[in-house]
């Protein structure tokens, strides 16, 4: 796992914005631009892909936490989508459009801090003591959280589990180079368009359609910078997280403050989450993950960008038929963003095969035994 690199009928929703120059081609397809045509890096609102957005309040020992969820669908099992580190629920936008067109299901994409107990508490807050059938689907760190949530039985109505491009062995190896990767990223961006363009050209997100909605959830305005009016409707659906200062930290000197303000004026956007500060949690997210995944007594699906990502435990488990696996080549780490239609097809096939959901729109299950 490389660090963080890695149609539908919308009914009453506005139509999905087409890929520039794509002629309505499938999500994730390569774009061939004609002479003189430029790709559109402008941001797109969440409302193009989700039916609704709401804030769910969860009580804790000191008060309440608020979690933002994006929802679509009204029938079938709930697909509870957990994003990867540094991403947001908006990374599931294009996948949501694709899966809703294939099977009867409900989508709940959750902005989370990365704790399994959060997932269980949000489910309880949303559905009470009688939650509907739920399938957990998590990408990268979100996949690890999904496995821990399932292992601790925090979702009593859980019927299935899916991890996307996260494997203990390769994840633990990748942690050694994570800080170097983070230091190599731009610290600020001149605009949302600039951030979206960087994400596509750097390969972090290889699908421009997804990048235009997803990157809005990864960056935020620098403090003290007024938001351009044109960006208000795009960023209004994002909850800002409070950052705790490190113990013993001191205020920077006046010159540094002035330099920072000049930088912010020229580059008013920065990363929403400072991933480098979460390093102490990285080991806990992934250590022991493979055996936890294998021990969950529910149908399981593993989607990978490359077969080389399998570690020993999962290789043995896959040979023993303990889970279904599918490799989606020519994708980066953000598999569900790079190839949302292929991921939706794999998930829909899994749901139909296990009789968890009914197909719609003429979708045909291609897996033997469906």
Catalytic residue among 333, 336, 338, 341: 333
Q: Using alpha carbons only, give the angle 346, 80, 10 rounded to the nearest 5 degrees.
A: 70
Cα(264)–Cα(262) distance, integer angstroms: 5
Distance of CA 190 to the CA centre of its chain: 24
Distance of CA 11 to the CA centre of its chain: 24
Q: Using alpha carbons only, give the angle 9, 10, 11 rounded to the nearest 5 degrees.
A: 95
The conformational region for residue 262 under phi > 0 = left, psi -120 to 50 = alpha, else beta, is alpha
DSSP code string of 148-208: HHHHTT-STTEEEEEEES--HHHHHHHHHHHHHHHHTS-SEESSHHHHHHHHHHTTSS--H
Catalytic residue among 72, 88, 91, 140: 140
Residues 70, 238, 47, 91: what is their CA dihedral angle, to the nearest 10 degrees?
-70
Cα(106)–Cα(96) distance, integer angstroms: 9
Give the up-direction half-sphere exposure of residue 52: CA atoms within 13 A in the CB hemisphere: 10
Indicate if 165 belongs to the active site: yes
Cα(159)–Cα(351) distance, integer angstroms: 10
Indicate if 173 belongs to the active site: no
End-to-end Cα separation, the chain, in angstroms: 31
Catalytic residue among 111, 118, 165, 338: 165
96 close to 109: Cβ distance less than 8 angstroms: yes
Tokens standing for 129?
Answer: 């003591």
Give the up-direction half-sphere exposure of residue 183: CA atoms within 13 A in the CB hemisphere: 4
3-state helix, strand, coil in the chain (%, to 5): 40, 15, 45
Tokens standing for 298?
Answer: 């529910």
284 close to 305: Cβ distance less than 8 angstroms: no
> Catalytic positions, please?
140, 165, 333
């Amino acid at each position: 796992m490389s660090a963080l690199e890695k149609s539908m009928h919308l009914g009453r929703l506005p139509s999905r914005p087409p890929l520039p120059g794509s002629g309505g081609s499938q999500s994730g397809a390569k774009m061939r631009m004609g002479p003189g045509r430029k790709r559109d890096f402008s941001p797109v609102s969440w409302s193009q892909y989700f039916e609704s957005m709401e804030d769910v309040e969860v009580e804790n020992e000191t008060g309440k936490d608020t979690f933002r969820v994006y929802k679509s669908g009204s029938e079938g099992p709930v697909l509870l989508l957990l994003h990867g580190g540094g991403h947001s629920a908006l990374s599931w936008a294009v996948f949501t459009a694709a899966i809703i067109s294939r099977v009867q299901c409900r989508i709940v994409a959750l902005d989370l801090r990365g704790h399994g107990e959060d997932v269980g508490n949000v489910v309880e807050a949303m559905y009470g003591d009688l939650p509907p059938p739920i399938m957990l689907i998590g990408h990268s760190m979100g996949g690890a959280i999904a496995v821990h949530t399932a292992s601790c039985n925090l979702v009593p109505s859980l019927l299935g589990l899916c991890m996307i491009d996260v494997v203990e062995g390769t994840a633990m190896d990748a942690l050694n180079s994570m800080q170097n990767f983070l230091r190599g990223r731009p610290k600020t961006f001149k605009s949302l368009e600039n951030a979206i363009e960087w994400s596509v050209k750097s390969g972090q997100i290889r699908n421009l359609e997804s990048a235009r909605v997803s990157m809005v959830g990864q960056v935020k305005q620098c403090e003290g910078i007024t938001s351009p009016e044109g960006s208000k409707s795009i960023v209004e659906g994002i909850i800002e997280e409070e950052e705790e200062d490190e113990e013993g930290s001191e205020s920077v000197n006046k010159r540094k403050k002035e330099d920072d303000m000049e930088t912010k004026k020229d580059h008013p956007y920065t990363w929403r989450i400072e991933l480098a500060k979460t390093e102490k949690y990285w080991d806990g997210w992934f250590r022991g993950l493979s055996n936890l995944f294998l021990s969950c007594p529910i149908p399981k699906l593993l989607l990978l960008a490359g077969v080389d990502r399998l570690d020993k435990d999962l290789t043995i488990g896959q040979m023993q038929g303990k889970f279904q696996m599918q490799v989606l080549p020519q994708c980066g780490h953000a598999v569900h963003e790079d190839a949302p239609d292929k991921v939706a097809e794999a998930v829909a096939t899994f749901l139909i095969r296990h009789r968890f959901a009914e197909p719609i729109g003429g979708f045909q299950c291609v897996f033997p035994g469906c």
